[in-house]
Amino acid sequence: METRPENVSLDDFFIDGGIVVVQFQVHERTVLLATSPFQMTTDYRITVHGAGEKDLMPDGVLDSFVSEKPLGCRLEHSNTVFRLFAPRATQVHLVLFEKHDDRSGMEYPMTKGRDGVWDMVMERTLNQHYYGYRIWGAPHRTELFNPDWIVADPYSSAVVTQNHYLHPAKTLILPPSIFDWEGDAWICPDLEDLTVYEMHIRDMTVHPSSGVQREKAGTYLGLTETGKTGGIDYLRSLGINAVELMPAQEFGNLEIDYRNPSLPVYNDWNPYARNHWGYMTSYFFAPESYYATGGNLIPGQYCGSDGRQVREFKEMVKAFHRAGISVIMDVVYNHVSHYDFNSFKAIDKKYYFRLDGNQEFQKTSGCGNDFRTERPMVRRLITESVLHWMQEYHVDGFRFDLATLIDSQTLDAVSQKAREVNPRVILIAEPWGGGTYGQAPFSRRGWGSWNDRFRNGVKGQNPHGGLGFVFGQWWGDNSPRSMRHFILGTPEGEGGPFAKAGHSVNYLESHDDYTFGDFVRIGSVRVREGHAVTDLLANARLTDAELNIHKLGALFLLTSRGATMLHEGQEFARSKAIAKTDIFDSMVGMLDPNSYNKDNETNWINYTHADMNSDLLEYYRGLISLRKRFSVFRRAASKNIRFLDCVNPFGVGYVMHAEGVDSDERLAVLMNGHPILEAEFQLPDGHWHVLADRHRSATVALRPLPEPLAVVPPTSGMVLYTPAESVSTVQ
């Protein structure tokens, strides 16, 4: 319990049910108690004289339950073995079904071991059968859930779910994998060599402009189709070398009906009653079945009944690897799905969740059900989930959502176990959550972290009073000095948090907040925040001034040290103007900073808009190629980077060369964030050629610079190279 006891004695404690406190220790605001024997499945309330009442939390006892037995459903010596960790349950039944939509099945009592694991052995194989658990004793009961419900196995490798906000699910038993990987192996570049494309599996191909076959549009397999406008050919042509998949572990994609007073929770915040992005994980080992072919959200129908999602996810990974593209998964272990009948809530609220003093779910994640990652068997589950995706699906890395909500021991366990399997595994943190913040602890573990300082300094923190360098403004405490720090990778030696420049994952746009395109539209005052856009095509097409801002941001991003991340559509200034639907029309045309709930054209990638802004798209392609061609952008040592003086306070320029490369072979990056004034830079002597300017970017010279003096126009940048003898010139 949490309190502030002063001069407390044993006589001041009273626990209902006749339980006696025999010893206690006070640690700051927490009191640890030793008591007479009690029932684990009973909820006791304690009264402390002068300090009030609390529900008793048996943390020490719960943490003592640890098992190394394989959990879930496994084939062992031609027997099918089921194991579930539920230490406070009084009874558990395995319920076996022959069909995915059976309402009832055969029930078999399970046996509980002293380690809290319930097991059941069936002396036969049960491939293509379905099962769940009925649990008595300790499950969390609310008005949302029927206590007689059957829940799927939290270790499910495949689930079939019914389309309803309660997400009814059964575990599908699949035969041992016979998938032919055809020699496929992990692709894990060093962090500093990554150019990551954060993308939503459905968004990338579901729009008709993608050209993907309609039966595959919006699916894992849709991404594998070649010869199409969208999908894998588009990503290959862009030049990125890694995709970061927004959540694809089975999640609660339907929420409670909007403004339905007959339901126990009144939804007045989400008119779409959807969770499109996926940050509500239900099953940590199962691929999302809605993204498989045949997936749908028709009320009452089912997804995943034949398990094709398992094979199709693997086909997607194999296709990306063939294209030389790494696969990083965005994983959510800090909280679980909220409105569905989540297995962990059904198994044991007190074991699996962080609770407040009144035994209610903590919601520092903002989602109402923070996962108790510090529990030993939760730590094991998270670690085994990571290994499952690495070994079964050849996933190359992970981005951990709200990673500061995951305890340090679990982070260390993930690091150790994952690196034992693949020493080069890619580990990236979103380094905030629940009011805590910090990239340094992750960098010390060798992880990358999203660098929001870079984002806020270069682009700005918000488009209505918090604009950054590319707009010719300083947001917060940013300055020419901080721009230099970002270029160097925000390292420790320069006041930053990163032990190594490659640990800084630099970005201007992610799924959160406005797209960079919409940020610029609002920041340049073409669109007023909160006002509807009436002409969507005109809104999508950039003005010349907006194009210049975008190109300058892209040049800054793709020439700075550290890993680089783009979000889907950033390369053509994607706009998320709220689409007209039959559901909710009062905000149609407004630019959406939080489109988590829209499975429609608000989020879907419209490739005709890429054609409209092809100038920007080609500029990104050129810069990505340039970054690949010259490793100095990714790997130059700080001592080999020399910054240039400029009278213009928004003029930032530097010259660099790679370690071991002759000093005559140099690159220069010059940027001018001022919207009116030119920026002039005196370069070292040499034959300088332009590789990028405000119009084009390329790996071959666009033109020679007549003298080592460069004048950079307002809101633009340049990349220069010397010696000229080794560079061919574009005619």
In a domain, 671, yes or no: yes
In a domain, 319, yes or no: no
pLDDT 10s digits, 276-295: 999 999 999 999 999 999 99
Report d(CA 82, CA 725) in Å as an integer. Answer: 69
Between the alpha carbon of residue 41 and those of residues 88, 212, 361, 374, the distances in Å are 5, 53, 18, 21
pLDDT 10s digits, 124-133: 999 999 999 9
In a domain, 403, yes or no: no
pLDDT 10s digits, 511-540: 999 999 999 999 998 888 888 999 999 999
The 3-state secondary structure of 603-617, one letter per residue = CCCCHHHHHHCHHHH
HSE toward the beta carbon, residue 270, CA cutoff 13 A: 21
Does the pLDDT at position 657 exceed 80?
yes
| Element (DSSP H or E) covering residue 564 | strand 563-567
Mean pLDDT throughout 404-422?
98
648 near 710, Cβ under 8 Å?
no
Mean pLDDT throughout 144-170?
89
486 near 458, Cβ under 8 Å?
yes
> Which of the listed residues 121, 146, 172 is the one where a domain comes to its end?
172
271 near 66, Cβ under 8 Å?
no
Does the pLDDT at position 143 exceed 80?
no
* CA–CA–CA angle 427, 279, 117 (5° rounding): 80
- Which amino acid appears at position 560 of this protein? S
Residue 148: which CATH number?
Answer: 2.60.40.10
In a domain, 430, yes or no: no
Give me the sign of the Cα torsion angle 176, 181, 185, 187.
Answer: negative
HSE toward the beta carbon, residue 483, CA cutoff 13 A: 29
Same domain for 17 and 46, yes or no, is yes
Under DSSP, is residue 61 helix (H, G, I), strand (E, B) or coil? helix
pLDDT 10s digits, 65-84: 999 999 999 999 889 999 99
* Catalytically annotated residues: 401, 430
Does the pLDDT at position 724 exceed 50?
no
Does the pLDDT at position 663 exceed 60?
no
Same domain for 21 and 80, yes or no, is no
Predicted confidence band at 303 (pLDDT cuts at 50, 70, 90)?
A: very high
Instruction: Say what the pLDDT of residue 301 is.
Output: 97
In a domain, 38, yes or no: yes
Same domain for 714 and 685, yes or no, is yes
In a domain, 125, yes or no: yes
For the beta carbon of residue 624, count every other beta carbon within 10 angstroms: 22
Predicted confidence band at 147 (pLDDT cuts at 50, 70, 90)?
A: low
Same domain for 165 and 78, yes or no, is yes
Instruction: Say what the pLDDT of residue 9 is.
Output: 83
Q: What is the largest CA-CA distance in the chain?
A: 92
Strand partners, 433: 436
| Element (DSSP H or E) covering residue 534 | none
308 near 294, Cβ under 8 Å?
yes
- The closest of 498, 507, 168 to 346, measured between CA atoms, is 168
In the numeric block, which tokens belong to residue 637? 């040592």
Radius of gyration for the alpha carbons in the chain, expressed in angstroms and rounded: 28
Instruction: Say what the pLDDT of residue 146 is.
Output: 63
User: Residue 105 — φ and ψ, nearest 5°?
Assistant: -145, -175
> What is the Cα 37 distance to its own chain's centre?
44
| Greater model confidence, 133 or 32 | 133
Same domain for 25 and 96, yes or no, is no
Does the pLDDT at position 142 exceed 60?
no
Does the pLDDT at position 28 exceed 80?
no
pLDDT 10s digits, 231-275: 999 999 999 999 999 999 999 999 999 999 999 889 999 999 999
Report d(CA 135, CA 576) in Å as an integer. Answer: 44
Does the pLDDT at position 387 exceed 80?
yes
- The closest of 253, 83, 51 to 155, measured between CA atoms, is 83
The 3-state secondary structure of 373-422, one letter per residue = CCCHHHHHHHHHHHHHHHHHHCCCEEEECCHHHCCHHHHHHHHHHHHHHC
Instruction: Say what the pLDDT of residue 163 is.
Output: 97
pLDDT 10s digits, 439-478: 999 999 999 999 999 999 999 999 988 999 999 999 988 9
Instruction: Say what the pLDDT of residue 139 is.
Output: 65
Instruction: Say what the pLDDT of residue 4 is.
Output: 52
Instruction: Say what the pLDDT of residue 5 is.
Output: 52
Same domain for 96 and 26, yes or no, is no
Same domain for 78 and 160, yes or no, is yes
HSE toward the beta carbon, residue 33, CA cutoff 13 A: 25
Strand partners, 24: 33
pLDDT 10s digits, 555-611: 999 999 999 999 999 999 999 999 998 776 788 999 999 999 999 999 999 999 999
Token pair 């975008």 is at which residue? 550
Same domain for 84 and 160, yes or no, is yes
Instruction: Say what the pLDDT of residue 3 is.
Output: 46
The 3-state secondary structure of 311-342, one letter per residue = HHHHHHHHHHHHCCCEEEEEECCCECCCCCCC
In a domain, 144, yes or no: yes
**Residues spanned by the domain of 22:** 10-56
In the numeric block, which tokens belong to residue 57? 């939390």
CA dihedral 283, 287, 290, 293 (to 10 degrees): -160
Residue 708: which CATH number?
Answer: 2.60.40.1180
Same domain for 87 and 141, yes or no, is yes
In the numeric block, which tokens belong to residue 657? 């060369």
> Which of the listed residues 122, 139, 172 is the one where a domain comes to its end?
172
Instruction: Say what the pLDDT of residue 277 is.
Output: 98
Same domain for 79 and 168, yes or no, is yes
Does the pLDDT at position 664 exceed 80?
no
Report d(CA 603, CA 592) in Å as an integer. Answer: 10
pLDDT 10s digits, 338-360: 888 899 998 999 999 999 888 88
Mean pLDDT throughout 188-196?
98
| Percent of the chain clearing pLDDT 70 (strictly above) | 95
Does the pLDDT at position 8 exceed 80?
no
Same domain for 149 and 81, yes or no, is yes
328 near 426, Cβ under 8 Å?
yes
By the 10 Å C-beta count (0-12 exposed, 13-18 middle, 19+ buried), 183 is classed as: exposed
Report d(CA 257, CA 280) in Å as an integer. Answer: 17
585 near 272, Cβ under 8 Å?
no
> Which of the listed residues 137, 172, 207 is the one where a domain comes to its end?
172
Peptide bond into 723 cis (omega under 30): yes
Mean pLDDT throughout 540-554?
97
HSE toward the beta carbon, residue 561, CA cutoff 13 A: 26
In a domain, 619, yes or no: no
In the numeric block, which tokens belong to residue 599? 């499975």
Instruction: Say what the pLDDT of residue 559 is.
Output: 98
Same domain for 38 and 80, yes or no, is no
- Mean pLDDT over each residue of the chain, to the nearest integer: 93
Under DSSP, is residue 12 helix (H, G, I), strand (E, B) or coil? helix
Number of domains in the chain: 3
Orientation angle between helical segments 480-488 and 544-559, nearest 10 degrees: 50
Predicted confidence band at 320 (pLDDT cuts at 50, 70, 90)?
A: very high
Mean pLDDT throughout 163-188?
95
Token pair 């005196």 is at which residue? 682
Give residues with Cβ within 8 angstroms of 486, minimum separation 6. Answer: 451, 453, 454, 457, 458, 506, 556, 560
| Percent of the chain clearing pLDDT 90 (strictly above) | 80
In the numeric block, which tokens belong to residue 107? 């029930």
